[in-house]
Amino acid sequence: MQVQEKFTAETFPASPEKVTLEGKNKFLGFWLFLGGETVLFASLFATFLALRNSNAGDPPTTEMFDVTLVFIATMLLLTSSLTSVYAMYHMKNFSFGKMQLWLGITILLGAGFLGLEIYEFKHYTHEFGFTITSSALGSAFYTLVGTHGAHVAFGLMWISTLMIRNAKRGLNLYTAPKFYVASLYWHFIDVVWVFIFTVVYLMGMVG
Amino acid sequence: MVDKKSRGHINSDLEFKKKKHAREMKYQVLSFGLMIGLTIVAFLTVATDGVGSWFTIPFIILLAAIQVIFQLYYFMHMNQKGHEAPALFLYSGVFVAFITVLAFVTIIWW
């Protein structure tokens, strides 16, 4: 099997992301990167946990956080994780069109999540005067949640660039690993969010 | 560089491949349902009055940990073969994460 070879559903390998050496290297390297990302977010989570009551005159998190908004954002991101699973399912079955469709839905859900986050930050800043410089809590909160939001924004750009760049190329052993690795990244963003909604928002509402 | 022998093998495997992918998908949809359920339980626990924070906080962290395991093993395919190195990388990261969080909530600034 060659990298640029044309495939059909019959001839496409079951795990196209790991057939070529380049694919294998991408896979391995990307998981190494995710290990590093875990450490990066751990340092931000640890800082937030240590400073979560140092609000220095800012309203406490129990007053600011809105459970409905966070719940909707969580559902959007969680569902986008499932839609990217669907995309990979169609990739493995060599259905390029359906894969593109589900990736498109993933992007829309992710964009919805990002929109809510921007609204939320704006709301805290204007209503409560809660900013990145107003307290240690503010610094820790905006750095942690903002770094996650930046990852979401990067993921949206990454997946949409992949979709556009490979629209005419279709699926082969060169493009399949690219889509696979991008979907891993998207799931990892959701993994981080699970801890953010638990540690930052839910624990912040408990007090 | 077309391997005729393996090509014929792949041809006859189309049905098998499709079934295998469909089965994986079924487990992924099931784990999605579970993840939604865990999320809702976590939100409800916090919204319910009269539950002490001594219970709520460890409980919702446990729910998050379970949910992340489903995300990693089903959505990110760590339950499949050939994920030994990814597991090593990820768990090394988790180990450092655990030490970092432990240090920050127990020693630093206290």
The CATH number linked to A121 is 1.20.120.80
Kindly state whether residue A202 falls inside one of the protein's structural domains. yes
Dihedral angle sign, alpha carbons of residues B74, B79, B81, B85: positive
pLDDT over threshold 80, residue A63 = yes
pLDDT of residue A46: 95
Task: Give the C-alpha separation, A205 to B60, whole Å.
Answer: 12
Each residue of A88-145: pLDDT tens digit? 999 999 999 999 999 999 999 999 999 999 999 999 999 999 999 999 999 999 999 9
Q: Do residues A120 and A69 lie in contact, with contact meaning Cβ atoms separated by under 8 Å?
A: yes
pLDDT at position B14, please?
Answer: 85
Average pLDDT of B12-41? 90
Query: Would residue A11 count as lying in a domain?
Result: no
> Is A59 a domain residue?
no
Q: Is the ipTM of this complex over 0.90?
A: no
Task: Enumerate the residues of chain A whose CB falls inside 8 A of the CB of residue B58.
Answer: none
Q: Bigger pLDDT: B5 or A187?
A: A187
Mean pLDDT of A46-67: 91
A10 belongs to a structural domain:
no
| pLDDT tops 60 at residue B9 | no
Whether A2 maps to a domain, the answer reads: no
Helices (H) and strands (E) in chain A, counts: 7, 0
In a domain, A4, yes or no: no
Q: Judge residue B89's burial from the number of C-beta atoms within 10 Å of its C-beta, 0-12 exposed, 13-18 middle, 19 or more buried.
A: buried
- Please check whether residue A41 touches B, CB under 8 A: yes
CB atoms inside a 10 Å sphere around CB B3: 10
User: What's residue B1's pLDDT?
Assistant: 46
Query: Which chain B residues are closer than 8 Å to A41 by Cβ?
Result: 97
Mean pLDDT of chain A, nearest integer: 94
Q: Is B54 on the interface with A (CB under 8 A)?
A: no
Burial call A62-99: b when 16+ CB within 10 Å, e when fewer: eebbeeeebbebbbbbbbbbbbbbbbbbbbbbbbbeeb
Compare B11 and B102 and report the one with higher pLDDT.
Answer: B102
When divided into structural domains, chain A yields a total of 1
| Chain B residue with the nearest C-alpha to that of A45 | B101
Query: How much is the pLDDT for A158?
Result: 98
- Flag if A202 and B21 touch (Cβ within 8 Å): no
Range of the domain at A113: 18-52+67-206
Rounded to whole angstroms, how far apart are CA atoms B6 and A13? 10
Does A29 reach chain B within 8 Å, measured CB to CB? no
Q: Which chain A residues are Cβ-neighbours of B21 within 8 angstroms? A: 14, 89, 92-93
pLDDT > 70: what percent of chain A? 100
Flag whether A25 is in a domain.
yes
Return phi, psi of residue A90, to 5°.
-70, -30
Q: B29-81 pLDDT, tens per residue?
A: 999 999 999 999 999 999 887 778 889 999 999 999 999 999 999 999 999 98
pLDDT confidence tier of residue A51, bands split at 50, 70 and 90: very high
**CB of B59 less than 8 A from some CB of A:** no
Residue A162: inside a domain: yes
